[in-house]
Every structure is written in structure tokens, then in C-alpha cells.
Amino acid sequence: MLAQIERKIVNGERINEEEAIFLFNSDEIHIIGQLADEVSKRINHNRVYFIINRHINPTNICINRCRFCAFSRSKGEPGAYEMSIEDIIQRLKEAEQSSQHISEVHIVSGLHPEWSFEDYLNIISAIKKEFPSIGIKAFTAVEVDYFARLSGLTLEQTLLRLKEAGVDIMPGGGAEIFNQDVRNRICPEKISGERWLEVIKTAHALGIKTNATMLYGHLESYEHRVEHLFRLRSLQDETEGFLAFIPLSYQPENNDIKVPYPSGIDDLKTIAVSRLVLDNIPHVKAYWIMLGEKLAQVALLFGADCLEGTVIDEKVAHFAGARSKHGVSVYELVHTIKEAGRIPAERDTFYNILRIWQD
Ligand code: V47
């Protein structure tokens, strides 16, 4: 079957679910990686993208207690925190000073039992007012669903309010694994996969681009991963609203699902098979925070074309045992990309190139 898949990829044809499952089960990691690399180069040439950004998590207080999540707390529990708007603005000013400029802020929060939709909107409008040129990537489909329920607005109205306040694109978090049996075991309180897809489809229809993620390496099977990837491919055929796909490698510390970290081979294979299945999503990110800086570099030869960014002060993965740094400098990202033989392309939120980092 591998020869048949190779022929298809070389001819620019799509692989089917059975073939994707075959690839996950295969040990031919070099061949799979090389095929994914070819597809990546076809789409993005030799470029690898990164962004000068900062992650901000305004609160970790959350009404959902997902079993894989080491970040969330109940109100009053040790370690629970809430940032004020002043704190957030201050953090961004510090990031601007230390990096000269930042192009994007990535905001993912908890579902706080006492905050209103207005409280979340005020965070966005305050950032937009203070830093009009910084792109805002904010709130997952899970949060948007929560805001709609809190406010009694429709999904369309909720998303339009976010857009008016200054949201430019939405991150891809909260997708986990769409299969409901797996969801019941890893995040029983979270919205269903169907609802996640509905929120994202609505955002795309309103012209809001989003990313998509897949959390792997916990209790799911290869079949579940493939089902997840094909749901995303079908939605992208309809909407063309996804900018990037980010496989999230499960971090197993301080949470309730006790399995080993995914292996390096599993990480690379997942990046590569994702690149091969999602032929209609322009970018695949090697999220160095979860992969580690060195494996993320290798992933650039296995189908990934984006390294996310400088990040600074990441919390979700580090609470769960990520062994990477909390942030890296632009120079480290550029060096990593060049050493992989690729061209470092600094981008904005929408993947417009801001600068090619040549010698
Ligand atoms: O939704 C939570 C995941 C996500 C763990 O869109 C975990 O550009 C691994 O979505 N091990 C938040 N993953 C992060 C996220 C993201 C990150 C970077 C870029 C983008 C983007 C999105 O982190 C959550 C959840 O799926 N997560 N706990 C864990 N233990």
C-alpha cells in the first residue's frame, strides 16, 4: 500500500482514511517524512514561518475540569489566578520592550464562573486600543460557545462582538479529539466535537480565520486521529477558513491521564501524516513548546512549515510538564530554521511575510 500512497502523493492526489491509518501503523518513518516534506515544499517552498508573539492566559479559573489539563483551577483553589486588564497591558508593554516589537498576542483563558462576556470583550478592546498594530489571536471555540451561553446571544452575534472588539483570528484549541467516546473519557464537560466544528464553521462564514488543533498521545487510537483529521479536511473544503493545523503532543504531568509522553517517532509521524491528509490547510505548525526545541527543528523536515513564535511565558503546557523553555528569542528561531536548511520567514497573524531573515 505504501507504493500506492507514494504514487498518489507524487501525482497530487488525495489519500483516503484507510491509507492514513496505514501510514500511522507503518514504521517507514523516513519515507512518510520525505513525502510530507515534498508536500510542504510544494505549498510553502523552502520557507519556515515564525511570529514574534506573546501568549497570555488571563485566568486559569475554569468551570470545566478536563482530565488532561494541569492548568485549570477552581475559584479559591491554590494556584488559581486572575489577571486584570492593567496586568495584561503591562505584560505586553514589557514584551514590546524586550523584543523591539511584537506582531501578535495569543489569548486563551479559562471559563471563569463569575466573568461576563463583557469582561472578556474588555480585555480585547483594551489591547486593541493600546496596541492597534498587534494582531489578536483570541479565544477558542470552547470559549466562544461559553460566551454565547453566558450572554444569550447567537453564535453569529457573539463572534461579531468579538470581531468588533478587535479579535483578528481564533486559535485552534479545544478540538482535542472529536470522537465522543474519547471525549467522554478525557474531557466529559467540554463541548462536543460537533459543536466545536459548528462554532468554527460559523466563524469562517463571518470571515474570521482560525487554526485547528488535535491533542494526541493520550487515550485515543490511530483511527480516532484519522477521523479527526478527515473532519477537518472536509470542513476546510467547504470554508477555506483554516490557516494552520497544530498537532498538540500530550504532556502527562500534574493531570489525571497517566500515560507516557508520546515518543519522538510518534510526534514526527503525526506531523507528517497530518501534512499528507490536510492537503488543503496551508500551514502545519511544529509547536516547539510541546515537542521540545530540538524535535521541533527535525519536524521541519517532516512536513511542518511553521514554528509558532517566541511565545514568552507559556503556561498550559508547562503546568503539564513541558520540558521546553517558556520562550525563545528571534535569533534562536532564525538559527533553528537556518540549521534545518530552510528560509526563516517572519510573518504576521495572517501569514503575510514581514521579513525574510537572510544573512
Ligand atoms: O486546547 C491542554 C491543549 C490547548 C494539555 O492556534 C494540552 O496557533 C498537551 O490550543 N498536553 C491550548 N496539550 C493550546 C493551543 C494552541 C497552542 C499554540 C498555538 C495555537 C494556535 C493553539 O492545549 C488546549 C488543549 O488542547 N492542552 N492540556 C496537555 N496536558
Which grid cell sits at 54?
Answer: 506573546
Task: Tell me the C-alpha distance between 313 and 126, whole Å.
Answer: 21
44-54 pLDDT, tens digit per residue, is: 999 999 999 99
Whether residue 241 has its Cβ less than 6 Å from ligand 1: no
Q: Could you give the 3-state DSSP secondary structure of residue 246?
A: strand
The residue whose CA has the least distance to atom 30 of ligand 1 is: 251
173 Cα–ligand 1 center, Å: 5
Residue 353's DSSP bridge partners are 347
Specify the pLDDT at position 151: 97
pLDDT tens digits, one per residue of 152-208: 999 999 999 999 999 999 999 999 999 999 999 999 999 999 999 999 999 999 999
Alpha carbon 88 to its chain centroid, in Å, reads: 21
Mutate to test the pocket of ligand 1, among 53, 72, 213 (most ligand atoms within 8 A of CB): 213
Ligand 1 touching residue 19 (CB < 6 A):
no
CA 107/CA 316 separation, integer angstroms:
11
Whether the CB of 187 sits within 6 Å of ligand 1: no
pLDDT in tens, 274-327: 999 999 999 999 999 999 999 999 999 999 999 999 998 899 999 999 999 988
Q: In the block, which residue shows the cell 503539564?
A: 320
The pTM assigned to this predicted structure is 0.98
Q: What is the pLDDT of residues 106-116, one digit of tens each?
A: 999 999 999 99
Whose CA is closest to atom 24 on ligand 1? 173
Percent above pLDDT 90 for the chain: 96
Ligand 1 site, residue 200, Cβ cutoff 6 A: no
284 beta partners:
245
Over residues 15-19, mean pLDDT: 98
If we measure between CA atoms, which residue out of 5, 44, 12, 21 comes closest to residue 300?
Answer: 44
CA distances from 59 to 5, 69, 254, 350 (A): 45, 14, 18, 26
Does 216 sit in the ligand 1 pocket, CB within 6 Å? no
End-to-end CA distance of the chain: 43
Segment 260-271 shows an average pLDDT of 98
Best residue among 208, 215, 307 to mutate for probing ligand 1's pocket (most ligand atoms within 8 Å of CB) is 215
What SS3 class is residue 176?
Answer: coil
Q: In angstroms, what CA-CA distances link 135 with 28, 110, 235, 346, 348?
A: 40, 21, 25, 14, 7
* Domain-wise residue ranges, the chain: 31-356
Q: Which of 106, 242, 311, 316 to mutate to test the pocket of ligand 1 (most atoms within 8 A of CB)?
A: 316
Kindly report the protein residue whose alpha carbon is nearest to atom 29 of ligand 1.
Answer: 251
| Mean pLDDT of the chain, nearest integer | 97
What pLDDT is attached to residue 358? 83
174 lines ligand 1 (CB under 6 A): yes
Does domain 31-356 bear CATH number 3.20.20.70? yes
Q: Which residues contact 55 (CB under 8 A, 6 or more apart)?
A: 105, 106, 107, 108, 311, 312, 313, 314, 315
% the chain with pLDDT above 70: 100
Distance 6 CA to ligand 1 centre (A): 31
